[in-house]
Amino acid sequence: MTELKIAADLIAAENDKRASALKSDYQALGESLSRRGIDIDAVTGKVAEFFVAVPSWGVGTGGTRFARFPGQGEPRGIFDKLDDCSVIHQLTRATPTVSLHIPWDKADVKELKAKGDALGLGFDAMNSNTFSDAPGQAHSYKYGSLSHTDAATRRQAIEHNLECIEIGRAIGSKALTVWIGDGSNFPGQSHFTRSFERYLVAMAEIYKALPDDWRLFSEHKMYEPAFYSTVVQDWGTNYLIANTLGPKAFCLVDLGHHAPNTNIEMIVARLIQFGKLGGFHFNDSKYGDDDLDAGAIEPYRLFLVFNELVDAEHRDVTGFHPAHMIDQSHNVTDPIESLISSANEIRRAYAQALLVDRNALDGYQQENDALMASETLKRAYRTDVEPILAAARQRAGGAIDPVATYRASGYRRKVARERPASSAGGGGIV
Amino acid sequence: MTELKIAADLIAAENDKRASALKSDYQALGESLSRRGIDIDAVTGKVAEFFVAVPSWGVGTGGTRFARFPGQGEPRGIFDKLDDCSVIHQLTRATPTVSLHIPWDKADVKELKAKGDALGLGFDAMNSNTFSDAPGQAHSYKYGSLSHTDAATRRQAIEHNLECIEIGRAIGSKALTVWIGDGSNFPGQSHFTRSFERYLVAMAEIYKALPDDWRLFSEHKMYEPAFYSTVVQDWGTNYLIANTLGPKAFCLVDLGHHAPNTNIEMIVARLIQFGKLGGFHFNDSKYGDDDLDAGAIEPYRLFLVFNELVDAEHRDVTGFHPAHMIDQSHNVTDPIESLISSANEIRRAYAQALLVDRNALDGYQQENDALMASETLKRAYRTDVEPILAAARQRAGGAIDPVATYRASGYRRKVARERPASSAGGGGIV
Amino acid sequence: MTELKIAADLIAAENDKRASALKSDYQALGESLSRRGIDIDAVTGKVAEFFVAVPSWGVGTGGTRFARFPGQGEPRGIFDKLDDCSVIHQLTRATPTVSLHIPWDKADVKELKAKGDALGLGFDAMNSNTFSDAPGQAHSYKYGSLSHTDAATRRQAIEHNLECIEIGRAIGSKALTVWIGDGSNFPGQSHFTRSFERYLVAMAEIYKALPDDWRLFSEHKMYEPAFYSTVVQDWGTNYLIANTLGPKAFCLVDLGHHAPNTNIEMIVARLIQFGKLGGFHFNDSKYGDDDLDAGAIEPYRLFLVFNELVDAEHRDVTGFHPAHMIDQSHNVTDPIESLISSANEIRRAYAQALLVDRNALDGYQQENDALMASETLKRAYRTDVEPILAAARQRAGGAIDPVATYRASGYRRKVARERPASSAGGGGIV
Amino acid sequence: MTELKIAADLIAAENDKRASALKSDYQALGESLSRRGIDIDAVTGKVAEFFVAVPSWGVGTGGTRFARFPGQGEPRGIFDKLDDCSVIHQLTRATPTVSLHIPWDKADVKELKAKGDALGLGFDAMNSNTFSDAPGQAHSYKYGSLSHTDAATRRQAIEHNLECIEIGRAIGSKALTVWIGDGSNFPGQSHFTRSFERYLVAMAEIYKALPDDWRLFSEHKMYEPAFYSTVVQDWGTNYLIANTLGPKAFCLVDLGHHAPNTNIEMIVARLIQFGKLGGFHFNDSKYGDDDLDAGAIEPYRLFLVFNELVDAEHRDVTGFHPAHMIDQSHNVTDPIESLISSANEIRRAYAQALLVDRNALDGYQQENDALMASETLKRAYRTDVEPILAAARQRAGGAIDPVATYRASGYRRKVARERPASSAGGGGIV
């Protein structure tokens, strides 16, 4: 029996307050959609089956190089983090899996598995960490990891990834995500080609150790922590990696890892076309890798990404099954609330994309009717699908209004009493 | 009696097809809004009184330095343009004024005025043109106009602006918009300070000639046509201009004239706070001054701009009455359709901004409840206000679905028969 | 015997004025370099053998969508253009070939060949044009060319490219450059995947027609003329094209076609590593595809690109022989002067890159000595190699100071008398 | 007598190795410059009198939100930091002052003063810190400081700034630099206008406490640590601050705090023109506020900034005396080496700007001779002024090659033995 962090009674009571309004809105939307030839229940059904993984590191308060301002009741370790993740899933019914970060989340694998089982949570892609030094580590990653000029450092980074696979195997994960901070801060510091050759050799070794039913996700990023060049800087390099490594290697797209003005949805389309879209790290951003809540800044962009995903489903693209994961930094909000909200926003974009009249769109595209093609997308996008999202949650036992219900539950106050305050960060790093 | 380019019967017939669905949607939305304490009819009433000027140059097909691909039935001159503008207003009831560009639209002022009266159109801000050379012009603007190193060229540019004021006076305009292309393509080409000093002196002369009830709008732009520096490059410089010139001088914000990633809504707020927001050139863009249809790329950004405007209304800011104008380039659509759609999108953003629960927002801001503050804006934004927009049009005699009605009218086919094909542009300018 | 547009006597007289100072500077630089273990004459020799093609369209005055301000004595057609190109080469001895643009430069191939021979000029890569409509063309490229939804339009675009190959064959070209403007201005307007599939099928047909000793260059560009999406938007897509087509297909890098902040030298390195660097369109830019003179805005970036090229030479990379071409728009300068200056700047970057102490750099890179690695590049970069460039020109019969010599020759005044003034452009396209 | 951290003998010995080559290079450069009408010794004299402050925080190893990789022998506190700063000045003779950061550098003011005196160092602008929480602080800056919604928090931030002034007074500083991290991560989180009003009121109070001979520098920044909006986001807002506060308030320009593609040298010119340029935080960047070593990424941009400064000197602008300070983060280099190199690069840009032929430039600007104007700047820029910089150092008792001399001194190894290793940072903040 699943251990529940929020009392089912509370959820029911909160839902009762909102059930009648939801019913009315849902019915009105259903009628309006039926005039457009859309069966609202079919959409709600698809939304209810759409899931996104939450990152274990996302339930702690994030920060910048200038400071970290801790929140109340921050998780003390992976078991607290899993508790917090279970709250998100219980209320949204959208996040049944958690993505771990090693070594941050290192623990006895049997206990991890048992805790996950108890909370009704599975484990999504494993994340290795070779962008910071763990205490006691023999070789520093200051000048790189998988692409380091020193063979022993590369070896250490490879071994760490192999260990991540082993942990993942034991807890039921099926994928490894590799993001490295390797790069340079000065022209000349690194040899672009030799660095990338070393990276490819190292990754080939990790790839070889991958179980047959696993996928390897490599993640590109334009800059940060390296400020002149990054080894895996964009989707072009990322594609070369996945293509060089083999059929189990795929590209991961983090929405915040691109140059200004980049058309990200087009990158998604290209990776789908060439069979190498592994999945997403969802978040939103205005300037750089701001790691803000999904949909908070440019919701239409998120919709356009989902428009590509639904289009690929619609065209029944072979082997298309991208992984959906959130990767955010919650600096000024309660992380649980941000993750609840983000999971909703991601489902919102999915629901809106499901409403696109694809036959009409095909026709407009074929006729180069740019205005009506645009309007076809906008029409789906501007539909207020909140009743669909709320109904999907409600029907699955979640909350009609998950943030309000979370606040009503007093969960944060409760854990704040149990978990000691963590220390503020920052200072000196300017 | 107003001359109508689209038969009233046709509009009525088209509206009849959609009236029942609209009624149903409007009622459902009304009920939903009333649960949020909002009176839908009050909102519809405000939307019906919100207007935006269309640019005379916008009804012709635009292009790029690479090519211009003409459309069918392009206007042959200002009188054709006014006909086209009247169609937009007739269907949307949102665009009762037209902004002229001199010398492109130069004509007998009495005829202009009479044509406007006949069509039920007024004249918005006058636009001078010193960024291209008119045939027979004595001095070229190749190296600048109001900031040119040569006094005679500056004089010519000043006189041109004075003439624009004269024309505007005669036809009922109340504002002059000055956008110059002055700048440089090479470091060293221009002396930043001397250029700006010359510009300020020239503008002071134009300002002096401004009628008492007019406003002078200066427009900033980061780059293009100058590719290294631009004399009026950003809102900082624009503010210095308005502040130097005097109380009738204001800053015009074109949404596409900023650096990548710029927070435009914040610039709007600053200009409101310091009493210098003149108004807008609405459009949308992804890369540079792309001049795409308003709301086509980042609709949430447009909403956030209107959120500032409605907030200023709400706070009853003294002297706050910004001018709303569209400035777009329609390269691949029927310009009339793009302007219809853009006027709707602008009203949409306004309507959404009216739905923001400002008391709740104030509270969240005061409490630093970032998540709920954001959610308060998103809730208003994601409301599908199309029924409000459609009802506002319908009640004012416009079309429930103005693009569909326009297509049904056959207007473009008709004018295509009357107006000879214009020639393709481009070639040689790469 | 080569037909000379600038009198050899004049060049000699101008050189005489500067020979003594050059000798002194060259000797001092030689001594300084010899202390760094570098033989100045060896560098001068390599520089003298470095060539870059000029674009035929570059000798006319360019413009923007707002206006084109013609210069004096603009070339009336390809034969005038070749005359102008010969002046550039005569003075710089750096630009022995011209790159043609079809249909702009269409002419009798025998006459073209004869004119080139007479002037001592060869023909570099051919450029097709499917981004604007030629008079009388059956199908418009308004909505695309090689990726158009309409098969007949694609066919026309393919045939045009085949014709370019035929013309090129007849005049001694060995490459075809394909840049298309295809893309979209609105989300939804184009289906990303289908567009790219159509493009690849069309390009495969062109590729099939390529002579065995030719190369096919595809060129990517982030945006403009399309403002929401571009079919060949970045090097990732460009690599996929070259890889799909076959061993004669390569990627062309135009320095101005990237997202803001992009590390272009790294893209160059990646394309070299994967055997797909075709060559360059050199220019400089600050904002978008500004097409300014090479080295005018960010000269260090140009150096860093050449650092990759010289490094590849140094490592003796198999099949490495990129094409060097200029692609610029000269809006405010005499195009001949800008091309002279640009050819010099490109050679300057090459000369500076030849001075990098690669053994030292290797050591610093291996040791992660970021500061000294950076300093090693900077030391080469800050060396004033003008004496080397001047000596290379002088020894080959060119001018020590080519711009001053050009001005002294009165060439522009002379052709201004012969060639009628061209008309100003712009107006209406805002 | 000044306490020297590097033995004078060592410097002399190292200089001896390089004196002959320097003499030769200096003489050759002198001859070449004299042909351009420039007296090299006059330039060397001006360079020798150009100074830049080093930031106390810059001698520690910086980091990112992902990790901090400590270096060896990191300073344990302000007194160690001052030792390190004295090394930089001893070798470069370019950095006689240090800029402190409070509370990081808080110490007994008499000891501070004595230590500075002993090392021959003065104190530049004071820096307050309200972007991170100090241990034991009553109110958190998580949601802002001078613009916080809570009056007590604003009060605390004001008091902190007043304390900085007091400390500064005691140690001989003459300026206060205020940079705040205040802003928001979500649309709606902050009210733009009210936040700025609160900021202005708070700053007015700080301004009031400023001694008569002090200056107040406010610093703008586009983003980070706030990722949606920043209270002092650009120079426009910064100008409004300085203008509102009064004649002792000026704008500080950090080169890394702007939007992509921004023409920073133009902002410098505007602030000079309107009497509000306070000074600089020098550094370099490619993507965001990368805080890389000055001149490492875009050295021509640094030159163009200095071109404005020297032009203002040349025009004898009233009240023009900007403060020169470095603000960098040294993540992968020895901070002392980076600061030595940066001080040199800043002097390099100054020296190059002194070489610009301003009469010739004026003429080209007046005649709109864009090519020769650009060439005039480029000619000065490409002059290798290293002999001038080295001679200026040598003549003042510094090192001809300061980095090599520093390495030869073994200073870092020595302090590494005395100072315990600091801990790695990062982890958890992703």
d(CA D203, CA D231): 13
Dmax over CA atoms of chain D, in Å, equals: 66
Give the position of tokens 């009743």. Answer: A387
Residues 6+ apart with CB under 8 A from B36: B355, B357
CA distances from residue C421 to C76, D100, D157, D270 in whole angstroms, order as listed: 9, 64, 67, 39
**Pick from A189, A234, A240: which is nearest to C365 by CB?**
A189
Nearest to B103 by CA among B73, B141, B149, B64: B141
Which residue in A54, A104, A128, A132 has the most chain D C-beta atoms within 10 A of its own C-beta, making it the best mutation to test that interface?
A132
Query: Which two three-digit tokens encode residue A274?
Result: 């060439």
Looking at chain A, which subunits does it touch, using at least 3 CB pairs closer than 8 Å as the criterion?
B, C, D
Cβ neighbours of B24 (radius 10 Å): 15
Closest-CA distance, C185 to chain A, in angstroms, reads 8
**B281 touches B254 (CB < 8 A):** yes
Closest-CA distance, C148 to chain A, in angstroms, reads 9
d(CA B163, CA A162): 76
pLDDT digits (tens, 9 = 90+) for A29-40: 999 999 999 999
User: Given this model, what pLDDT does residue B421 score?
Assistant: 83
SS3 state at A60: coil
Closest-CA distance, D188 to chain B, in angstroms, reads 5
The residue of chain C with its CA nearest to that of D401 is: C375
Q: Which residues of D touch C386 (CB under 8 A)?
A: 382
Closest-CA distance, B125 to chain C, in angstroms, reads 16
User: Given this model, what pLDDT does residue A425 score?
Assistant: 56
Q: Do C430 and B69 touch (CB under 8 A)?
A: no
**Pick from A65, A142, A222: which is nearest to D332 by CB?**
A142
How many beta-carbon pairs under 8 angstroms link C with D? 84
Q: Do B427 and C104 touch (CB under 8 A)?
A: yes
Averaged confidence pLDDT in chain D: 97
**Pick from A327, A332, A425: which is nearest to D185 by CB?**
A332
Closest-CA distance, C312 to chain A, in angstroms, reads 10
Q: What is the pLDDT along chain D (430 residues), one digit of tens a residue?
A: 789 999 999 999 999 999 999 999 999 999 999 999 999 999 999 999 999 999 999 999 999 999 999 999 999 999 999 999 999 999 999 999 999 999 999 999 999 999 999 999 999 999 999 999 999 999 999 999 999 999 999 999 999 999 999 999 999 999 999 999 999 999 999 999 999 999 999 999 999 999 999 999 999 999 999 999 999 999 999 999 999 999 999 999 999 999 999 999 999 999 999 999 999 999 999 999 999 999 999 999 999 999 999 999 999 999 999 999 999 999 999 999 999 999 999 999 999 999 999 999 999 999 999 999 999 999 999 999 999 999 999 999 999 999 999 999 999 999 999 998 877 654 334 3
The alpha carbon of C3 is separated from its chain's Cα centroid by a whole number of angstroms, namely 24
Q: Which residues of C touch A364 (CB under 8 A)?
A: 188
DSSP state of A133: P
d(CA B188, CA D192): 37
Q: State what percent of residues in chain B have pLDDT above 70.
A: 98
Torsional sign, CA A405, A409, A413, A419: negative
Is a pLDDT exceeding 70 seen at residue A429? no
E strand residue ranges, B118-271: 122-123, 126-128, 175-178, 183-184, 215-219, 229-230, 249-254
**Pick from B184, B196, B367: which is nearest to D273 by CB?**
B196
pLDDT digits (tens, 9 = 90+) for B73-108: 999 999 999 999 999 999 999 999 999 999 999 999
User: Given this model, what pLDDT does residue B1 score?
Assistant: 75
**Pick from D63, D135, D288: which is nearest to A429 by CB?**
D63
Q: Which residues of A touch B381 (CB under 8 A)?
A: 299
d(CA A391, CA A397): 10
Closest-CA distance, B193 to chain D, in angstroms, reads 6
Half-sphere exposure of C290 (CA within 13 A, CB side): 27
**Pick from C191, C240, C376: which is nearest to A188 by CB?**
C376
Q: How confident is the model at residue A430 (pLDDT cuts 50, 70, 90)?
A: very low
pLDDT digits (tens, 9 = 90+) for D360-379: 999 999 999 999 999 999 99
User: Given this model, what pLDDT does residue C424 score?
Assistant: 63
d(CA C398, CA C96): 12
Q: Which residues of B touch A374 (CB under 8 A)?
A: 293, 296
Is a pLDDT exceeding 70 seen at residue A231? yes
Q: Which residues of D touch B234 (CB under 8 A)?
A: 234, 236
User: Given this model, what pLDDT does residue A102 score?
Assistant: 97
Is a pLDDT exceeding 70 seen at residue B43? yes
Nearest to C238 by CA among C177, C175, C154, C155: C177
The residue of chain A with its CA nearest to that of C259 is: A259
Is a pLDDT exceeding 80 seen at residue B401? yes
CA distances from residue D48 to B139, D308, D358, D391 in whole angstroms, order as listed: 48, 20, 21, 9
The residue of chain C with its CA nearest to that of B298 is: C187
**Pick from B133, B290, B332: which is nearest to C69 by CB?**
B133
Closest-CA distance, C369 to chain A, in angstroms, reads 7
User: Given this model, what pLDDT does residue D188 score?
Assistant: 98
Q: Which residues of C touch D301 (CB under 8 A)?
A: 298
Q: Which residues of A touch D60 (CB under 8 A)?
A: 428
**Pick from C260, C297, C384: which is nearest to D260 by CB?**
C260
Q: Which residues of D touch B371 (CB under 8 A)?
A: 186
d(CA B297, CA C185): 9
Nearest to B283 by CA among B330, B318, B333, B224: B330
**Pick from D64, D67, D142: which is nearest to A69 by CB?**
D142
Burial of B39 (0-12, 13-18, 19+ CB in 10 A): exposed
Residues 6+ apart with CB under 8 A from C159: none
Closest-CA distance, A221 to chain C, in angstroms, reads 12
3-state secondary structure chain D: CCCCCCCHHHHHHHHHHHHHHHHHHHHHHHHHHHHCCCCHHHHHHHHHCCCCEEEHHHHCCCCCCCCCCCCCCCCCCHHHHHHHHHHHHHHHCCCCEEECECCCCCCCHHHHHHHHHHHCCEECCEECCCCCCCCCCCCCCCCCCCCCCCHHHHHHHHHHHHHHHHHHHHHCCCEEEECCCCEECCCCCCCHHHHHHHHHHHHHHHHHCCCCCCEEEEECCCCCCCCCEECCCCHHHHHHHHHHHCCCEEEEEECCCCCCCCCHHHHHHHHHHCCCEEEEEECECCCCCCCECCCCCCHHHHHHHHHHHHHHHHCCCCCCCCEEEECCCCCCCCHHHHHHHHHHHHHHHHHHHHCCCHHHHHHHHHHCCHHHHHHHHHHHHHCCCHHHHHHHHHHCCCCCCHHHHHHHHCHHHHHHHHCCCCCCCCCCCC
User: Given this model, what pLDDT does residue D41 score?
Assistant: 98
**Mean pLDDT (whole number) for B215-219:** 98
**Pick from A296, A300, A384: which is nearest to B298 by CB?**
A300
3-state secondary structure C126-178: EEECCCCCCCCCCCCCCCCCCCCCCHHHHHHHHHHHHHHHHHHHHHCCCEEEE
DSSP state of C292: B
User: Given this model, what pLDDT does residue B420 score?
Assistant: 87
Q: Do B365 and D189 touch (CB under 8 A)?
A: yes
Looking at chain D, which subunits does it touch, using at least 3 CB pairs closer than 8 Å as the criterion?
A, B, C
Backbone angles phi, psi at C122, to 5 degrees: -105, 180
User: Given this model, what pLDDT does residue B427 score?
Assistant: 39
Is a pLDDT exceeding 80 seen at residue A427? no
In A234-271, which positions are buried (b, 16+ CB within 10 angstroms) versus exposed (e)? bbbbbbbbbbebeebbbbbbbbbbbbbbbbbbbbbbbb
Averaged confidence pLDDT in chain A: 97
User: Given this model, what pLDDT does residue D428 score?
Assistant: 39
**A350 touches A47 (CB < 8 A):** yes
Q: What is the pLDDT along chain C (430 residues), one digit of tens a residue?
A: 789 999 999 999 999 999 999 999 999 999 999 999 999 999 999 999 999 999 999 999 999 999 999 999 999 999 999 999 999 999 999 999 999 999 999 999 999 999 999 999 999 999 999 999 999 999 999 999 999 999 999 999 999 999 999 999 999 999 999 999 999 999 999 999 999 999 999 999 999 999 999 999 999 999 999 999 999 999 999 999 999 999 999 999 999 999 999 999 999 999 999 999 999 999 999 999 999 999 999 999 999 999 999 999 999 999 999 999 999 999 999 999 999 999 999 999 999 999 999 999 999 999 999 999 999 999 999 999 999 999 999 999 999 999 999 999 999 999 999 998 877 654 334 3
Q: Which residues of D touch A430 (CB under 8 A)?
A: 57, 62, 101, 291, 327, 329
pLDDT digits (tens, 9 = 90+) for B192-205: 999 999 999 999 99
SS3 state at C256: coil
DSSP state of B56: G
Whether ipTM > 0.85 holds is: yes
Which residue in D199, D368, D376 has the most chain B C-beta atoms within 10 A of its own C-beta, making it the best mutation to test that interface?
D368
**A150 touches A202 (CB < 8 A):** no
Query: Which two three-digit tokens encode residue A32?
Result: 């309006």
pLDDT digits (tens, 9 = 90+) for B167-213: 999 999 999 999 999 999 999 999 999 999 999 999 999 999 999 99
d(CA D141, CA D153): 7
Closest-CA distance, D94 to chain B, in angstroms, reads 28
pLDDT digits (tens, 9 = 90+) for A109-138: 999 999 999 999 999 999 999 999 999 999
CA distances from residue A202 to A103, A148, C363, D418 in whole angstroms, order as listed: 19, 10, 22, 38
Cβ neighbours of C242 (radius 10 Å): 27
User: Given this model, what pLDDT does residue A424 score?
Assistant: 62
Q: How confident is the model at residue B425 (pLDDT cuts 50, 70, 90)?
A: low
User: Given this model, what pLDDT does residue B422 score?
Assistant: 79
Residue type present at position C197: E
Q: Do A384 and B384 touch (CB under 8 A)?
A: yes
Q: Which residues of D touch C261 (CB under 8 A)?
A: 260, 286-287
Q: Do D149 and B368 touch (CB under 8 A)?
A: yes
SS3 state at B134: coil
Nearest to B131 by CA among B160, B169, B107, B92: B160
Torsional sign, CA D343, D345, D348, D350: negative
Q: Do A333 and B375 touch (CB under 8 A)?
A: no
